[in-house]
Amino acid sequence: MLLKDKVAVVTGASNGIGRAIVDVFIENGARVIGLDIVEIESWNPDFTMIKVDISNTADCERAYNEINTMADRIDVLVNCAGITRDAMTKKMSEEQFDQVIAVNVKGVWNLTRLIGPAMQANGSGSIINISSVVGVFGNVGQSNYAASKAAVIGMTKSWAKEFALKEGNVRVNAVAPGYTMTNMMNSVPAELLEKFRSSTMLGRLAEPIEIANSVLFLASDLSSYITGEVLNVNGGMRL
């Protein structure tokens, strides 16, 4: 019960890695408010869903007000929602570039600008931003996504400094997952998945629960002296 009686907000909660984070947080005693553009039915009294487009600043403000009617404090924020719009750079449209930046960068900023200062005022909190192996090493056909996930690392390090000021005591870290079997992988050709698998030291892709467990560690007091870090959870992958 690493998160007993904690309130956690998790974006991208309806699918994949976000959904695995919700499950592992609830198993560890948290009350979870899930934010996603796709609504799922609650299956547990400790889970509440709010439908929101994280790229829309006004919609995030509306969701934040709704959260405040449900909980008097937020202990953990996981910025997990993200998208890909892959193309080689010479073929990438402005729309593909802008969509990825809007969700993966502005979406993370939209919620953290509200929840980070509230945690700081409370004097505690843990924020975990989901970056990617691609934000650390880059990748062919993903210049927009790589830019967005590198930006997540920059924001993480800035907020680790900013929200610790005035005895804020808010820890901010990033997790950079390797390739993980979720819907996001549906559009990746099988031969490319095989290439990714063989470029890991462990010889396999990740399961969502393996990423979720690392997020649990950073959310909990087990990591009480870790902030401003990027935890690579990629089976020893080198792109």
Ligand X SMILES: NC(=O)c1ccc[n+]([C@@H]2O[C@H](COP(=O)([O-])OP(=O)(O)OC[C@H]3O[C@@H](n4cnc5c(N)ncnc54)[C@H](O)[C@@H]3O)[C@@H](O)[C@H]2O)c1
Q: Which residues are catalytic?
A: 145
Tokens 């006004």, residue? 58
* In the complex, least distance from residue 73 CB atom to ligand X, rounded to whole angstroms: 23
| CA angle centred on 5, ends 231 and 2, rounded to 5° | 40
Mark 91-115 as b/e (b = at least 16 C-beta within 10 Å). Answer: ebeeebbebbbbbbbbbbbbbbebb
Q: Footprint of ligand X on residues 66-125 (CB under 6 A)?
A: 80-83, 103, 107
54 binds ligand X (CB under 6 A): yes
* In the complex, least distance from residue 12 CB atom to ligand X, rounded to whole angstroms: 3
12 binds ligand X (CB under 6 A): yes
214 binds ligand X (CB under 6 A): no
Q: d(Cα 210, Cα 228) in Å, to the nearest integer?
A: 21
* In the complex, least distance from residue 206 CB atom to ligand X, rounded to whole angstroms: 7
What are the two backbone dihedrals, phi and then psi, of residue 235, each rounded to the nearest 5 degrees?
Answer: 60, 25
* In the complex, least distance from residue 225 CB atom to ligand X, rounded to whole angstroms: 25
Per CB under 6 A, the list member of 22, 26, 36, 136 interacting with ligand X is 36
**10 Å Cβ neighbour count for 226?**
14
18 binds ligand X (CB under 6 A): yes
Q: d(Cα 155, Cα 161) in Å, to the nearest integer?
A: 10
Q: Which listed range, 68-76, 116-124, 172-180, 214-222, lies at the site for ligand X (CB under 6 A)?
A: 172-180
209 binds ligand X (CB under 6 A): no
147 binds ligand X (CB under 6 A): no
Q: d(Cα 63, Cα 232) in Å, to the nearest integer?
A: 30
16 binds ligand X (CB under 6 A): yes
Task: Identify the helix (H) or strand (E) that includes residue 151.
Answer: helix 143-162
182 binds ligand X (CB under 6 A): yes
Residue 22 or 168: the one with the smaller Cβ distance to ligand X is 22
Query: Is-contact 128 175, C-beta < 8 A?
Result: yes
Give the binding site for ligand X (CB under 6 A): 11-12, 14-18, 36-38, 52-55, 80-83, 103, 107, 130, 132-133, 177, 179-180, 182-185
